[in-house]
Structure 1
């Protein structure tokens, strides 16, 4: 933790946006260099033009690959495209539009040339496809592209594909797209078609999304309660959405920071002195937390609004795991229109407090690997009422139990905090305190451990049986997992459990480290022991 964490960025911390955009067009990747290849992580391809990792060539080739992929899958309708507020997002969107138009794809971009949250793109795809062939203007199955690196620093760009189900593309799709994009780049971009982006239609992402919110959040209760709400877009795409929500629904909501700046000069630095628009980080949210006494509920979103941060007067910034547990408890008790067998979805590195809440509700827990894509089928058919990740990303169903979005939606999670307060008279943090009284107080933390590329590759394929230890921090091991209990999918690492604690280890996709997630119901000191033994156990397994 840097001593500057939580302090406002200095001029020396800021990027030169003009130079960033210039590098986007001037630098050309060599895909024989691994760091310059198109690589899709859990949320698309990300990188910086300064590093020749996110440039015009990358986006032109990736878009051409998406055109070919969607054709191979029979996706012949419109493609919805949106961008966030990062400096590289507009040039990347322009590149994509030129390729899409040249290939004859019907493209729908924002009606007001504005910024578009990830959930608004997912919402648009689902609305169009659900309406079906009988709807006016139907021209085939729709999909989408979101130009965003999410909460990443200002120097980064991001580009992700959402197929017709509206959520993140699965690994089969992203692997094919990335491989084809790199092949196109290596061949000198000869297969890329480009034309002036003049034949682009528009779509009112904001209006369609905001008008529909009444079908998933009790905005009448929020308005009638008179609670004071503060919303900080953190310089992201949700700015105009929050302004529209306040106006349309007449709630006492103030946008506490309306500034858009691709250098993010107003942000407080994250733990490592980087500018990172992470609403779950106490350091990045320091300026928001400082205003906690001015509002009954204060919220934050990242640049593409797929993550949420919840700040209350009594507790400050809530740990994401804590809020997920409270949201689940509240929703399953207050959404009678959901299926009685609708499961609770969580990633296996999320808190076990969620397991205890699920058990108390009599609901099935559906535990999956990291990645929101796993929740998509359940959200589509209503068999999963809520899907959430420990990194402050989640979505849930409408009042009637039908799908809302199949990508993470930080706006509805932020609004839900106000609904909880309006309907119960208690803040989400007060509700979590009650959960602690019932079930105990888990200590949870994620740390990183050094690992070479070869070690990370071994960890990704490690089998739970390769863990030879019998105990962790003095307690017998009860379970060793390399596949998720909910869907038997490989977790890309291991998870080890005891009666009162657990740890999971997964390789980082961007750095030479592996991530250790750990939790203990015996307190912070016991958690430290679990973390230390986790590193020893995993290092031993990787050395064999």
Structure 2
């Protein structure tokens, strides 16, 4: 995919969605399950789609929530379900539908006390804290399509461990939801919103204060305050907007919210690389507004709409590559926290091998897993993982005392950690990264995307080691071909090919109609381009072999 001519520029009139029509379509359009794209389908982060295209409509959400209610009953979860939502236009009607179905199924529901927005990591934290002190297990729902464009909606389920649901759970929910839709919703229970909101099963809490007051357990807030680190925060119109001022006032920190606009069309956003509005805090195009302010603050930070991703901007280096910041965060945490020496570093297989070199440097065990934060949940739950991170700018880590903080990605703590690193070491995260490069070498990392049909995505996910007949990759001997992750032997859903100084991985997206090739070289950019070119040829051969 090339860079769009308007990437990084202000959205134009033709780039904006008709919110009224989108919400109308949510209620009036019905899915036809004979069309694959209309079905409930859980990817790596829940079910996502758009009301415009019959893939995220009231029937989808009602059926999903009915399926979750039945699953909870089968597992005898008797505690509350915490519901969060982000600022996408479809999140509000989906939030209403979810409440109406869950209450109709006698599920206790807890929401933010002003019925406002609630980020993903806050829901995870609420679940964990509740279940530490109660035998009546709680779980959660987050209404969000993450950083996806404004026309999209999303919903994801977090069971009592607090993190993303495992594949076997989401498969049950997906299958049951499609059965309910196929049966014309006959078995779906749903109250009117007025009745649901008046139900004693619905309660409200101050989620903001609950989360903010706990932050000093995971971040050295005193160090940030003592160093008077000036932080600029751009919520990108997301669900954590109201949290930053409370964090600042509660702890006496110098935090400036540079954009306090909430608009379901996200018309204030600069266009992303493909010319679409996308709230991707790892994109230099979507983050161009904050990057322009880099010299106004010691650290500037951004988040996606549900605040499970982070973006770090420094005066010395601008927007950091997510892989570079992951390596920095890991090295800092593992050398500045009094954690057990056998605590593991968790990374996804498409994250930089610089992390591998950091692990070797500090003599810490490394666990490489497939794409998807769900693979880190168990390790963060039992504190065997000190850190779990994805190249897509999502990560979480343990509390300072080694106990579980969250089991889902937390953009707040990753952003505040950048300020802590500066306060404690005197280096901003980019300067810290350059220091690591001096010792470990520079990694040249790339990722490309291309449109892919469902059939093409299926073919790519089914690749085997037999698909690679070559003995070399970009001039180096191939040392490993992986279809399963080394850390847990789980299927990759694609392929990873490794050499001494480089690698590539090819896999379909779980949330969009694209496939992705990730690649890295520790030699130079020309070597990286050669790796990517040969990887593209391998994917093209796979499609050709499948007759696609």
TM-score (norm 2): 0.96
Query: Paired residue for 2:369?
Result: 368
- Hey, what does 1:136 align to over in structure 2? none
Query: Distance in 2 between the 1:88 and 1:512 partners?
Result: 20
Q: Deviations over 1:165-194 (max 9, x none)?
A: 000001111111111111101111000111
Partner of 1:156 in structure 2?
Answer: 152
- Deviation of 1:271 after TM superposition, in Å, equals 0.4
* Cross-structure match for 2:44: 42
Alignment correspondent of 2:4: 2
1:136-285 residue pairs with structure 2 within 5 A?
A: 140-195=136-191, 196-197=195-196, 198-199=198-199, 200-285=202-287
Q: SS state of the match for residue 239, structure 1? A: coil
Secondary structure of 2:496's counterpart equals strand
CA distance in structure 1 between the partners assigned to 2:263 and 2:512 by the alignment: 27
Equivalent in the alignment of 1:490: 491
Find the residue that maps to 1:23 and give its secondary structure.
helix
Which whole-Å CA distance do the structure 1 matches of 2:228 and 2:281 have between them?
25
* Structure 2 equivalent of residue 461 of structure 1: 462
Partners in 2 of 1:213 and 1:508 — Cα distance? 33
Aligned-residue offset at 1:74: 2.1
Superposed CA offset, 1:105-146 (max 9, x none): 01111112110000000000000001124xxxxxx1100100
Indicate conservation of the 8 Å contact 1:368/1:487, yes or no: yes
Deviation digits for residues 181-238 of structure 1 (CA, Å, limit 9, x no counterpart): 1110111100011113122111221111100000000111101101211011000011
Question: Whole-Å Cα distance in 2 between the matches of residues 69 and 124 of structure 1?
Answer: 20
3-state secondary structure, aligned to 1:299: strand
1:432 aligns with 2:425: no
Residues 449 and 152 of structure 1: is their aligned pair in 2 closer, same or farther, counting only changes over 3 Å? closer
Q: Is the 8 A contact 1:464 1:495 kept in 2?
A: no
Q: Give the match for residue 326 of structure 2.
A: 324
Residue aligning to 1:358 = 359
Number of residue equivalences:
537
User: Corresponding residue for 1:415?
Assistant: 416
Shift in Å, 1:273: 0.8
SS of match in other structure, 1:158:
strand
How much does 1:456 deviate? 2.5
Report how far residue 535 of structure 1 moved: 1.6
Deviation string, structure 1 residues 255-278 (Cα, Å, up to 9, x no partner): 111111111111100001111111
User: Separation in 2 of the partners of 1:502 and 1:300?
Assistant: 30
Q: Give the Å deviation of 1:465.
A: 4.1
Aligned residue number for residue 88 of structure 2: 86
Give the whole-Å Cα distance in 1 for the aligned partners of 2:16 and 2:452: 30
Offset at 1:541? 4.5
Is contact 1:467–1:538 with CA below 8 Å preserved after alignment? no
Distance in 2 separating the partners of 1:431 and 1:251: 23
Contact 2:344 2:386 in 1 (8 A): yes
Q: Is the 8 A contact 1:306 1:409 kept in 2?
A: yes
- Alpha-carbon distance, 1:458 to partner: 2.6
Give the equivalent residue in structure 2 for 1:342: 343
Q: Does 1:386 align with 2:387?
A: yes
Give the unaligned 5+ runs of structure 2: none
Query: 1:333: Cα distance to partner?
Result: 0.5
Q: How many Å separate the matches in 2 of 1:112 and 1:512?
A: 36
**Shift in CA distance, 108/450, structure 1 to aligned 2, threshold 3 Å:** closer
1:321-346: per-residue Cα shift (whole Å, max 9, x none)? 0000000000000111x222100000
* 1:10, distance to aligned residue in structure 2 (A): 1.6
Which residue number corresponds to residue 32 of structure 2?
30
What are the Cα deviations for residues 147-167 of structure 1, in whole angstroms up to 9, with x where unaligned?
010111111111111000000
TM-superposed CA distance for 1:16, in Å, is 1.3
**3-state SS of paired residue (1:429):** helix
- 5 Å matches for 1:492-511? 492-510=493-511
Counterpart secondary structure, 1:165: coil
Instruction: Report the counterpart of residue 475 of structure 2 in structure 1.
Output: 474
Counterpart in the other structure of 1:396: 397
Q: 1:221 to 1:511 in 2, by over 3 A?
A: closer
In the TM superposition, residue 512 of structure 1 has moved relative to its aligned partner by 5.1
The alignment partner of 2:242 has SS state of: helix
**SS of residue in 1 equivalent to 2:226:** helix
Answer yes or no: is the 8 Å Cα contact 2:459–2:542 preserved in 1. no
3-state SS of the aligned residue for 2:140?
strand
Superimposed CA distance per residue, residues 295-352 of structure 1 (whole angstroms, 9 cap, x where no aligned partner): 000000010000000000010000000000000000000111x222100000000000
